[in-house]
Amino acid sequence: MVAQNIAFGILAAIMVVGALRVVSTNNIVHAALWLVTVLAGGAGQFLLLGQEFVAWVQVIVYIGAVIVLFLFAIMLTHAPMHPTGKLNNDMRLWSVVPAVLLAATLAWVLIAEWGNDKIHLLRPVRTAEVGTVVFRAYLVPFEVVGVLLLGALIGAVVLARKD
Amino acid sequence: MALNQFLLLAAFLFAVGAYGVITRRHTVLVLASVELMLTAVNLNLVAFGAFNNDPVGQVFALFVLTIAAAEVGVGLAIVLLIYRNLRSSDPDDVDVLKG
């Protein structure tokens, strides 16, 4: 238990620093790479919770595919636009207020509602159990998501191609 | 491990993502901030799944991941289209609907 809490603390520190850098750095490529550290920390947290399938899917889909898409979009749109300019707008100080209020409200509710609950991990969740749940209870949503993904793919191609 | 440590971390990530959505001046970075918020949601789902010893938390996290991938694909295509038409990637410049 102590080792798990130490691992949580290290991963959480990495994620907090990474998240703050994602929204504050003035180098757009660095922001995308800091997002990688946050997502990798998230995958580590999933592993810590014994949910390994979603952890590896996070690594493959987010870090492998989504970040590459981000970097492509940056290279296709960035080059002449903000060579040295600030990447945050003039509201960057005032915007801290709603963000802090949001975090404080969420923390208040969470502490009031789940202040004393502990996670007792019996064993890691096997991928076979996840597959059973997906293909028994959630078969229709799974198929709908597949069709949605196809629609999004075709839509992205139609939007981005040059006529 | 307390359940709350994961939930509070997720709440912090969500708030940071919301801050990024408000302040970032590049549309790609706004989408990156949205990804931060979605990661926070996934962390919540997985933490509750582990808390209840139920694989359904993972299933819902997988659905969120899939929708996030679709959202990023379409979102970045729209960003490219806006850049091609307006020569700008600042969301504040997309104000052609303003009177």
pTM here is 0.91
Which stretches in chain B have pLDDT values below 70? Answer: none
Residue B82 within any structural domain of the chain: yes
Chain A contacts in chain B segment 46-75 (CB below 8 A): 46-47, 49-51, 53, 55-59, 61-63, 65-74
* Phi and psi angles of residue A28, each rounded to the nearest 5 degrees, phi first: -70, -35
C-beta pairs of B81-88 under 8 Å, 24+ apart in sequence: B81/A159, B81/A160, B82/B27, B83/A76, B83/A77, B84/A162, B88/A81
For A55-72, write each residue's pLDDT tens digit.
999 999 999 999 999 998
User: Looking at the domain assignment, is residue B96 inside a domain?
Assistant: no
B21 belongs to a structural domain:
no
Task: Point out which residues pair with A118 in neighbouring strands.
Answer: B2
Question: Do the domain assignments include residue B5?
Answer: no
Structural domain count of chain B: 1
Distance between CA atoms of B36 and B30, rounded to whole angstroms?
10
CATH code linked to domain A2-82+91-160: 1.20.120.1200
User: Is A103 in contact with B24 (Cβ distance < 8 A)?
Assistant: no
pLDDT at B36: 94
Query: What is the C-alpha separation between A149 and A142, in angstroms, rounded?
Result: 11
What residues contact A81, with CB distance under 8 A and at least 6 apart? Answer: B26, B88, B89, B90
pLDDT given for residue B68 in this prediction? 92
- Nearest chain B Cα distance for residue A163, angstroms: 12
- Give the domain ranges of chain A: 2-82+91-160
In order of A63, A113, A151, B65, the CA distances from A40 in angstroms are: 7, 29, 28, 14
Give the list of residues 6+ apart from residue A38 with CB closer than 8 angstroms, or none. Answer: A14, A15, A18, A19, A22, B13, B36, B39
Q: Give the one of B20, B28, B84 whose C-beta lies nearest to A28's C-beta.
A: B28
Mean pLDDT by 10 residues, chain A (163 residues): 90 95 88 94 94 93 91 77 65 89 94 87 88 93 95 91 76
Cα–Cα distance for residue pair B41/A67, rounded to 1 Å: 18
- The question of ipTM being above 0.85 is answered as yes
Say if residues B48 and B4 touch (Cβ distance below 8 Å): no
How many H helices and E strands in chain A?
A: 7, 0
Parent domain of B30:
26-90
| Cα atoms in the 13 Å half-sphere on the side-chain side of B46 | 34
Residue B56, pLDDT score: 92
In a domain, B59, yes or no: yes
Nearest residue to B15 via CA among A79, A62, A108: A108
Residue B85 included in any domain: yes
Query: Is A119 within 8 Å of B39 when comparing Cβ atoms?
Result: no
pLDDT at A84: 56
Other C-beta atoms closer than 10 Å to the C-beta of A79 total 9
Widest Cα–Cα separation across chain A: 59
Looking at the complex, report in whole angstroms how far the Cα of residue A141 sits from the nearest Cα belonging to chain B: 9
